[in-house]
Structure formats: C-alpha cells, structure tokens
Amino acid sequence: MRITFLAVGKAKSPRWDALAQDYSDRIRRFSPCATKIAREAEASIASNPEQARASEAKRILAALPAEALVVALDVAGEVVSSEDFANKLQKWRDTGVRDLWFVIGGHWGLAEEVRARAAWRWSLSRLTFTHEMARALAAEQVYRALARLANIPYAK
C-alpha cells in the first residue's frame, strides 16, 4: 500500500517540516511514502474562506488519483484512538487498498468537494492545529499504526 500525504502550502516552519519528513522516512520501512504539496490560494483571495477553499480544492482534486482511497483530515471528522486507527489501516491494507492519500487542507480547511471525495474524514483532535502540525501528527500516527501492525515496539 502506497501512502501519500497531500498538504496545501509549504511548511513555514522548518522544524515541523523536518518532523513530518522524519516520520515519512520511518513509514518507508513498511510502505512507499510520499508527500505532495498543493499550492495555496492566491494572495488576492486568501482572506476569503470560501474562495480560498474552492481554489485549493481544484488543485487537491486534480492531484488525487481516481483509484486512491482518500482520508481527509477534518476538524469535524471522526476522532479515534491510535489502536482504532491502526485497525482501520490494517483493514485497508488487507482489503487491497493500493493508494492511500491523506489530505491536509490549508488555512481555511477543506472545501466540501474534497470532503465528499474522502472515504473517511479523520480528526486528530477536537483541538485546532496548524496544517503544518497536522501533517506531522498524521505522519506520526501512520508510523505508529504501521509499527504496531508489524509488532515493533513503539513508545506509548
């Protein structure tokens, strides 16, 4: 199963970017893993939530392969434990999902069209995180799940 993180906008903090990259590198022990960046909304519309989400949605949807199983990181999504997430990942892997894409929106979140494309909407927490933090946290949870499924000890 190939895993891809699709994030809107480049990380502004090299520390968060490095942390996300570190976990992506760890994921590669178990599965091919990549990160793709969709360009943020143009400055002229960036302050308008609806226009910004619509602009970014076009780029996100264009980047998603038709056969990909899409997980949208969404504050209104389902909150699950790390164990439940690992079970979900195992189910996808065992049922033959070949391309698993995690989509992380920009400053204003994801447009409804992107949410509708997702097979699952996942909330990392009821707290709000920057998209840079969300990318690092999602990668860490994917790594944690894969390590658990491979019976490799990982800190609890």
CATH number at residue 44: 3.40.1280.10
Q: Once rounded to an integer, what is the mean pLDDT over residues 30-47?
A: 92
Looking at residue 135, its pLDDT comes to: 95
- At 46 the pLDDT is 82
The amino acid at 24? S
In a domain, residue 154? The reply is no
Domain presence at residue 119: yes
- pLDDT value of residue 134: 95
Return the structure tokens found at 81: 């434990």
The pair of structure tokens assigned to 70 is 């899409």
pLDDT band, residue 156 (cuts 50/70/90): low
**For the residues 123-134, what does the mean pLDDT come to?**
92
Q: 137: part of which helix (H) or strand (E)?
A: helix 131-149
Is 101 contained in some domain? yes
In a domain, 15, yes or no: yes
For residue 92, give its domain range.
Answer: 2-149
123, part of any domain:
yes
Residue 156 lies in a domain: no
Q: Is residue 155 part of a domain?
A: no
Asked if residue 57 belongs to a domain, the reply is yes
Mean pLDDT of the chain: 95
**H or E stretch including 6?**
strand 2-8
Q: For a pLDDT cut of 70, what percent of the chain falls above it?
A: 99
User: Into how many domains does the chain fold?
Assistant: 1
